[in-house]
A and B are shown apart, each in its own frame.
Chain A
Amino acid sequence: MLANKNMQESIGFILFIGTFVSVCIAMVGGSLYLIQHGNETLSTQILQSDSYHLSIFAIWQSAKSLSSVGMIELGLLTLVMTQIVRVATLVWFYLKTHDYVFTGISLFILLTLIYSLLWRH
């Protein structure tokens, strides 16, 4: 019961930190973008177009070069990564408490998460 409570608290902590960090990264990127392009209005074309193909590697590249849009993307990616980290923590927790059925269940969810993130057309 005590282990369970600790687990719930750690997952809660991961979620809180992950969300906070990703919103901060996106905020920095967004502010940069507004400073650079603040007085342009988003054209309808951007809102309507449908060709924003991204991969996590491309996001990493553009964030490293400190581009404002890249930073926002990195923030969004961090948010998704937070979910992976919390499920991975659960896999570890169930493994440690010798609960192999739930280790399998969490592992399945973890793999689906990773697979979908790496999925390409």
Chain B
Amino acid sequence: MIAGLLGALTGLGGGIVVIPVLVLIFHTNIHYAMGASLISVIATSSGTAAAYLREGYTNVRIGMFLETAAVVGAFVGALLIVYVPINFLAILFSLVLFFSAYLTMRRKEEHELYSSSHPWAIALNLDGQYPSANQFKSYHVQNVPSALTIMGVAGLLAGLLGIGSGALKVLAMDQALRLPYKVATTTSNFMIGITAAVSAGIYFSHGFINPLICFPVMIGVVLGSFFGAKILTKTQNRSLRIIFSTAICLIGLQMFYNALTGHI
């Protein structure tokens, strides 16, 4: 089992892969799969966030401010799990898979530069700078309230499904706040560990965190992120992204089908 997980997870971290592998291949209870996924999300995001912080892209102020909404969402989401039927969770998860596939396919565009910031951003001093070719480039922060709302939803999904919700967090900072893409991804990474830790506290007491399942997954994911490199996330290669998105969609369909026929 450990060998299988190690192989399957190398290079592909995150709940998006961990949960379907555990549920569809190892027939793990979906609650345990979510717990293991949550642990693996904390491990990988902490490791990479450490590196990004040193590079100076992460905007800690924005991260902490938006995290207030995300932790509330994560807390509520994790509390709701016991009231939600398992096949509903599986269906919701498959929808998240379709959405991630769509986001993977979408081409990212650079924003135009803004000369001013949203009033909340000014009050909270959220603007920042990021390193770019030997000098620091400044950026301004837009639409804070809608980013805060999306973060709440991201937290809720993270708590309900045991995922990092990284894609949705990046979306909030990229599309609402209009941050430079690299700042959005690194700040999202900074936040994921905290959001997931809030849910993990409640998962512990629900009994969803089974050490015997978490251990191989965690080791596999950490080793994977060290050696396997993030080939898929870093690649600009369009055909590889198409293959990846198609695979996610197929997994989503399988989860959806199993949920409807009561096999989860």
- A: residues with CB less than 8 A from B are 4-5, 7-9, 11-13, 15-16, 18-19, 22-23, 26-27, 29-30, 33, 41-42, 44, 46-56, 69, 72-73, 75-76, 79-80, 82-84, 86-87, 90, 101-102, 105-106, 108-109, 112-113, 115-121
Which B residues touch A46, using CB under 8 A? 210, 212
Q: Decide if A117 touches B50 in the complex (CB within 8 Å).
A: no
Which B residues touch A108, using CB under 8 A? 68, 71
Overall SS of chain A's interface:
helix
Which A residues touch B209, using CB under 8 A? 52, 54, 76
Closest to A81 in B: B197
Q: Decide if A109 touches B64 in the complex (CB within 8 Å).
A: yes
Give 29 CB contacts A-B under 8 Å. A4-B60, A11-B53, A12-B54, A15-B49, A15-B50, A19-B43, A19-B47, A19-B222, A33-B215, A47-B213, A48-B28, A50-B31, A50-B32, A52-B32, A53-B206, A54-B207, A72-B211, A75-B215, A76-B39, A83-B42, A83-B197, A102-B64, A105-B64, A108-B68, A109-B64, A113-B71, A113-B201, A117-B201, A121-B206
Q: Contacts A101-B124, A105-B64, A112-B71 known; A50 to B50 CB distance under 8 Å?
A: no
Q: Decide if A69 touches B28 in the complex (CB within 8 Å).
A: no
Q: Decide if B194 touches A83 in the complex (CB within 8 Å).
A: yes
Provide the B53-91 mask, 1 if CB < 8 A to any CB of A, else 0: 110101011001101100110010010000000000000
Overall SS of chain B's interface:
helix
Q: Decide if A52 touches B208 in the complex (CB within 8 Å).
A: yes
A100 CB to nearest B CB, Å: 12
Q: Decide if B219 touches A119 in the complex (CB within 8 Å).
A: no
Q: Decide if A116 touches B215 in the complex (CB within 8 Å).
A: no
A88 CB to nearest B CB, Å: 12
Q: Decide if B32 touches A8 in the complex (CB within 8 Å).
A: no
On chain B, the number of residues with a Cβ less than 8 Å from chain A's Cβ atoms is: 56
> How far does the alpha carbon of A113 sit from the alpha carbon of B42 in the complex, in Å?
14
B48 CB to nearest A CB, Å: 9
Given A48-B28, A50-B29, 10 additional A-B pairs, CB 8 A: A9-B54, A15-B49, A15-B50, A47-B27, A80-B42, A83-B196, A109-B68, A113-B198, A115-B201, A116-B200
Q: Decide if B218 touches A53 in the complex (CB within 8 Å).
A: no
Q: Contacts A15-B49, A105-B64 known; A119 to B39 CB distance under 8 Å?
A: no
Q: Is residue B205 within 8 Å, beta carbon to beta carbon, of the partner chain? A: yes
Q: Decide if B210 touches A106 in the complex (CB within 8 Å).
A: no
Q: Decide if B194 touches A30 in the complex (CB within 8 Å).
A: no
Closest to A12 in B: B53
Q: Decide if A51 touches B207 in the complex (CB within 8 Å).
A: yes
Which A residues touch B193, using CB under 8 A? 15, 82-83, 86
Q: Decide if A79 touches B46 in the complex (CB within 8 Å).
A: yes
Report which of B28, B50, B202 forms a contact with A13, defined as CB distance below 8 A.
Answer: B50
Q: Contacts A55-B205, A79-B42, A113-B201 known; A47 to B31 CB distance under 8 Å?
A: no
Q: Decide if B204 touches A117 in the complex (CB within 8 Å).
A: yes
Q: Contacts A51-B207, A54-B205, A80-B197 known; A16 to B215 CB distance under 8 Å?
A: no
